[in-house]
Amino acid sequence: MQLDFNDKNPNGNFRIKQFHSDYGYDLEKVLQQFPLKDLLNKVEADKLHDGLKNGNRISVSFVKDGNEHRFYIEANPQFKSVNIYDEHSRKITLHTALGNKTMDAMKVTHKVNEQQQQNQAKKNGMRIS
């Protein structure tokens, strides 16, 4: 659920946008796109998922060139993405947060992950298109 601050009902209340599970937003899949240190620990990953599902802005650590960088993220189900903010609460892009070298490494990692999923699906007798 999300408040729409651009739309009010006749009583002056903000309307609520609802995104059901059938909407197609998979938070776990979106989070796999980021080099989050928090996903390595099961307890921290569960806290992160719960906080994001509740609409909170969560402090996370991105691993970039072997160093940790702190950012804040929040779920954005309307656009099936995650918003990233810097330490001054300014919205930034993933490209800005990670830099070019890390983005290239992430693309390679995603290709490998996709190939592994396809290989696993073939073993299970499923076809992915």
6-20: pLDDT as tens digits: 888 889 888 887 776
Domain contains 8: no
Residue 72 has pLDDT above 90, yes or no: yes
Domain contains 47: yes
Domain contains 92: yes
How many domains does the structure of the chain reveal?
1
Give the tens place of pLDDT for each residue, 18-34: 776 666 778 888 888 88
Residue 52 has pLDDT above 80, yes or no: yes
CA-based nearest residue to 27, from 59, 54, 6, 5: 54
Give the tens place of pLDDT for each residue, 86-109: 888 899 888 888 775 444 444 544
Domain contains 18: no
Sign of CA dihedral 116, 122, 128, 129: positive
Domain of 65 in residue numbering reads as: 25-123
